[in-house]
Amino acid sequence: MSRTFTLKENLGLQFAQWENTTIISADISKQQREVLLANFKAAIRIPSVSFSQTHQNTSALREFDQLLRRVFPNVFSSSLVKHEVVGNYSHLFTVLGTDPELVPYMLLAHIDVVPANEVDGWEAPPFSAKELNGFIYGRGTIDNKQCVMGILQAVEYLLERGYVPRRGFYIGLGHDEEVYGYNGAVNIAKVLKSGGVKLQYILDEGLAVMDGIITGLNGPAALIGVSEKGQATVKLSASTRLGHSSMPPKENSIGILAAAITRVMERRPDMNAFVRTTTAVTMFNSGVKVNVLPSHAEAFVNLRIHPAQTLQEVLDLIKSTISDNRVKLELVDGFDSLPISSYDEQSFGYQIIKKTLLDMFPQVTVAPSICIGNTDSRHYMDLTQDIYRFNPTWLRPGEPER
């Protein structure tokens, strides 16, 4: 039934006159494939790590810049493409179209990765790009250098074949997405906004093809994120009188706070990241000596807020759930979930992405969903009403944990 519905729903797309352009085959030669993989491995081997907002591997970011210029010569030399470096290390590409009446779209990805250490259970060194059983291992292979290299490689191939688009588009490659994107994506968005740019839609990283991961669904599903969860960090703390372990009171600061956190987590024991707000205790600090009862304990809780709730509603729920005046609640930082982008049959961006997915992966079911992580795309909300989040990555059971 699902497959029949998918075919029927997409019938009109086969005859849509949206672009009316000549189709260029996606087939590549064996030699091109070898070069493509070599370029991708080179990208993975560059440790472009973001440790914090004030600490990034800037030498690696400069090395990545040189790699892009070397392996995508047409992108950087074509008269159709304007390139700008933004925030020292991010990249903005403007690809001109032949029809200025068509509103452009934008593709996003990010260069930076989170830290990785081989002792953390890696089957191969995290920046080795080693091949094992047909897979390339390395930090950034699925977050998010596959999109960086895939986007630019596609443009490189199209330029080689003389392609000139009717609809112009932008490419934004951020360098600090893993630490909130304040220097990369924020500044790229400012450049576009200052130029009066409005976008038809944006496609950023996000969900993927889930094969055998969704309970009750037979076959793979390509989930397109039409919204993404909000996020908040909350500090919970409790204070009591200082004491000694030889004369323990009935309750101390650690016990009070632990009980409060337990009530928060047990509120919904069957929490599921896709359908509700999630809570995760990420830090718990207390104590200075083994035989001294601490007077103060604090914990940090990370919340991923479902679009059905606001940040304030979640804070109110936590407070009422804890229901203990001895526990202080402070909002460290946070923001609401993003608006839900259109995904009906008249939605240009969603249907273009969906049609492309079905062209490449005809066996998948395509469906809208909620991106449970946060992306750079939230910084571009003033430029478009429609933001979509999808990675062209095929994931099987056990692989999302990677």
Which of the residues in the chain have pLDDT under 70? Answer: 1-23, 241-250, 265-272, 274, 288
Task: For residues 372 and 304, give the distance between their C-alpha atoms in angstroms, rounded to a whole number.
Answer: 7
- Please report the pLDDT score of residue 230 as a whole number: 93
Active site residues: 112, 177
- Please report the pLDDT score of residue 16 as a whole number: 45
Whole-angstrom CA distances from 109 to 58, 185, 194, 292 are 18, 10, 21, 50
Task: For residues 198 and 106, give the distance between their C-alpha atoms in angstroms, rounded to a whole number.
Answer: 10
- Please report the pLDDT score of residue 214 as a whole number: 82
Q: What is 104-172 written as a DSSP string?
A: PEEEEEE--B----GGGT-SS-TTS-EEETTEEESTTTTTTHHHHHHHHHHHHHHHHTT---SS-EEEE
Residues 35-69 as b/e (b if ≥16 CB within 10 A, e otherwise) read ebeebbbbbbbbbbbbeeeeebbeebbeebbebbe
Q: Which residue has the tokens 């337990």?
A: 262
pLDDT digits (tens, 9 = 90+) for 310-343: 999 999 988 998 889 999 999 999 999 999 999 9
Q: What are phi and psi of 53, to 5 degrees?
A: -65, -25
Strands 130-132 and 135-137: antiparallel
- Please report the pLDDT score of residue 272 as a whole number: 58
- Please report the pLDDT score of residue 14 as a whole number: 46
- Please report the pLDDT score of residue 243 as a whole number: 62
- Please report the pLDDT score of residue 244 as a whole number: 52
Q: What are phi and psi of 50, to 5 degrees?
A: -105, 110
pLDDT digits (tens, 9 = 90+) for 88-134: 999 999 999 999 999 999 999 999 999 998 888 899 999 999 999 88
- Which DSSP symbol is given to 47? -
Structure tokens at 69: 């210029």
- Please report the pLDDT score of residue 282 as a whole number: 81
- Please report the pLDDT score of residue 259 as a whole number: 87
- Please report the pLDDT score of residue 182 as a whole number: 96
Amino acid at position 162, single letter? G
Task: For residues 168 and 188, give the distance between their C-alpha atoms in angstroms, rounded to a whole number.
Answer: 17
pTM of the predicted protein model: 0.86
- Please report the pLDDT score of residue 181 as a whole number: 96
- Please report the pLDDT score of residue 223 as a whole number: 95
Measure CA 288 to chain center: 38
Q: Name the percent of the chain in helix, strand, coil, to the closest 5.
A: 30, 30, 40
